[in-house]
Every structure is written in structure tokens, then in C-alpha cells.
Amino acid sequence: MTPTEIQSHTTALRTDKDRLWKALMDLAKLGATPKGGVNRQALTELDRQARELFIEWCRAEGCNIRIDTIGNIFAQRPGQDPSRSTVMTGSHLDTQPTGGKFDGCFGVLAGLEVIRTLNQHNIQTQAPIEVVAWTNEEGCRFPPCMMGSGVFTGQLDRETMLAQTDSDGITAGAALEKIGYRGSDAIDTNEIGAYFEAHIEQGPILEDTGNTIGVVIGALGQRWFDLSLTGVEAHAGPTPMALRKDAMMGAAEVAQAVNRIANAYQPHGRGTVGTIKLHPGSRNVIPGEVAMSIDQRHLEPEALDNMTTELKAAIKEISTRHGLAAELTPAADFAPEYFDRTCVNAVRNAAQRLSCSHMDIVSGAGHDAIFVGRVAPAAMIFVPCENGISHNESENATPDDLHSGCNVLLHAILESAQNIDANRE
């Protein structure tokens, strides 16, 4: 078919909802938990089985399989013009210890369903289409998260990542060797003409607004800090309130400041105190030390800088007033990511073409697309998840919403596959 004939033929093209759902449910059997979730952590035997199943399905569709040195799996459907850049899509197969059926897995199997649909209807694209299953996105067994895409894009050092250990002292490299997925194929980031990642939202916005598709325009920048506040532990009875150096009271005010600052930078400001530990931890002793984590996020670099400046000022004022010593230590710093305008437009065009209710949205969580977006044009597609719950065995998404997201992925890929490197013609 010519590009014009393909466009005419594919206008009404849809993926197979039942086939997509069955693939998701079949994959979810590997690591299924009694509560209906999935525990399939990276580089375990169950991860190996999931990889084998994915490769089996891809080979049945005529895909060429490549595996790189960090274990990322690339399944390529050739295009009519091998010189064209690849349209890539994918996500990850690993889960949290108490994970769900859809986080990551939907993106991988939606990509597979796109290939199955194109094969079923005998549609050949100009550009190759490739589905990737990234290694260790979750980072729960081997930190950090997004390991596979980070190494692939050069954001993380491969040897350092292979040396990361789990709680039993096993290295990621040894675990890759054990499951047989420390590959040797070299895949160049320059091969990628466009990257799309379909994912459940992992938040409540789409469900709350009644939209089916989130057109993801970017991802929030993240800054993590560890804060220690040191006062004086003393007897809770004899020590008057005015004479205390109570680290816990300082921590409580800092937590309020974190939330106040985030609320002042809406709609994209986020502020969270996720962990807090106090010493000595006795009911009749005034806490003398508190250690806490702080997470700040925003889409705009200047706003994130301002939030951090205000946080530091608040900590200084609070600690001085309470007579505390404060030490704020940076733990992570991820710059905001703006996705490629052409890829974002392809997602938006597909949603409009398919009459799917949609809205622009930003990702508050980290995804492989963020790393890929630093070396190639990229965008994401979100679909609702029930009550915004993810990283939880009760994680849920409807077959209809997943089907809609997969159809948007299909049409965004087709638009890109026909237009990439079109100037060569």
C-alpha cells in the first residue's frame, strides 16, 4: 500500500480489546498474589518467565529480538524502508512486591497488541516499529529505579548499575547472568525516531475529570532531601514547654511548611514528607533528634528552584526558633522533562480522531519515557486507574479504558511511522 492508501485503510482501524485483556491476565499469572496483585520483581525467576513469554509472543508475530547488556529486550517489526528511524514503544515487566497487573505491563503489551493488529490487517509501515521491555524500572530489588532505560540512554553508568546489590548481597549483574538475560546486542539511541509509552495514570486526575486519555506533555522535576534536626532529649514531665529544644515540634512545622510551599505553586507543585524517624522514641522523653525525608516536585525549573529556596529559608527559621541544629542533605535531583511537541501532537491527534475524551496532563511519577525523552523524541499516553491507586495489589483499570489507550497508541505510532524521515522520499 502507498502511504495514502494506508491512511485511508487505517482510519477505522482498532486493536482487539479481548486479546489485549487476555494477554494482560495471562502475564499477571506469573507472580500472582492471593490478594489479586502481582509480585514479579526484577531479575528473579518470575521475571525470567515473563520475559520468555513476551519474547515467545513477539516471535510469533515475526519480530526480530535483541537484548542489550543491561537486559533490555527490543522486539522489532521491520518496516518497508529499513533506513528509516524506528518508532519505539514499551515500558516494563517488573513489579513492586505488592504490585498490580497493569503498571508497566500495559505499556509493553499495548505495544505488542499494536503489532498484532498491524499483522492481522496486513498493514506494513514505512518505518520499523519496536516494542521494548525495559529492565528494572521499579528499582525495588536493585536501586535505582528506571535502571534499564537509564543505562540505555547513558543517564546511568552501566558498570555501576550492574554492581548494585539487593538485600541478600546479590549484584544486578549476577542476577542478569542467572536468568540468562545479560545480552550483548548494541542498540544505538540514534535509531529511535519517536518513542511512545502507554501507562496507567497512577493518580486520580483522569478519573476525577471523567477523561479517558491523558496527553502527557511532560514530567515533574523531582528533588529529594534528607533533613536531620537535632535538639535536646529531656524528661517529658520536669521540662517546661518554654525551655524545650524539641526536635519533633520543629519537624512538625517543617512538614507544614513543605505542604504550604507546594500549595503556593499550583497546579504543578508537590511537597511530601514521606518518612520520619525520631530518637530516642520513648513516650516520656522529648525527642532530641528527628530524621525525615522531603520530596519536592514541579514542572517548571524556576518554580522548583523557588520552592527549594523557600524550603531552606523555612528550615532555617524554624530550627533557629526551636533552638535546633539542622542539616539538609540533597538525595536526588531530576530535572523537569518536557516531551517532544510532535510526539505529543500525535497522541492528541489520535485521541481526537478516535473521539476519546482527553486532556493535557503531566506525570508526577518517574517513567522510562523520561530518560528516553532526553535522547529521542518521546511522549506518553495515560489511561485512568481506579481511585488513582497503583503500586498496590488492588490496582485496577477497565478493559475499555485500556483498549482506548491502546487504540490511541496505535494511531500515534501509525502517524509517526508514516511521517518519520519523510524528507528522504
pLDDT digits (tens, 9 = 90+) for 251-261: 999 999 999 99
Say what the pLDDT of residue 419 is.
Answer: 74
Q: What is the pTM of this model?
A: 0.88
SS (H, E, C) the chain: CCHHHHHHHHCCCCCCHHHHHHHHHHHHCCCECCCCCECCCCCCHHHHHHHHHHHHHHHHCCCEEEECCCCCEEEEECCCCCCCCEEEEEEECCCCCCECCCCCHHHHHHHHHHHHHHHHCCCCCCCCEEEEEECCCCCCCCCCCCHHHHHHCCCCCHHHHHCCECCCCCEHHHHHHHHCCCCCCCCCHHHEEEEEEEEECCCCHHHHHCCCEEEEEEECEEEEEEEEEECCCEECCCCCHHHCCCHHHHHHHHHHHHHHHHHCCCCCCEEECCCEEEECCCCCEECCEEEEEEEEEECCHHHHHHHHHHHHHHHHHHHHHHCCEEEEEEEEEECCEECCHHHHHHHHHHHHHCCCCEEEEEECCCCHHHHHCCCCCEEEEEECCHHHCCCCCCCCCCHHHHHHHHHHHHHHHHHHHHHCCHHHC
Residues 342 and 358 grouped into a single domain: yes
Same-domain status, 249 and 350: no
Domains in the chain, number: 2
Report percent pLDDT > 70 for the chain.
96
CATH number for the domain that contains residue 239: 3.30.70.360
Q: Is the pLDDT of residue 6 over 90?
A: no
| Mean pLDDT score across all residues of the chain | 95
Q: Is the pLDDT of residue 10 over 90?
A: no
Domain range spanning residue 225? Answer: 221-334
Q: Is the same domain home to 342 and 405?
A: yes
Query: What's the mean pLDDT in 75-79?
Result: 97
Same domain, 137 and 230: no
Of the three residues 294, 309, 334, the one that is the final residue of a domain is: 334
Query: pLDDT tens digits, residue range 328-376?
Result: 999 888 889 999 999 999 999 999 999 999 999 999 888 999 999 999 9
* Res 1 pLDDT > 90: no
Q: What is the pLDDT of residues 212-249, one digit of tens each?
A: 999 999 999 999 999 999 999 999 999 999 999 999 99
pLDDT at 418: 85
Question: Does residue 166 share a domain with residue 29?
Answer: yes
**Is there a single domain that holds both residue 326 and residue 215?**
no
pLDDT value at residue 421: 65
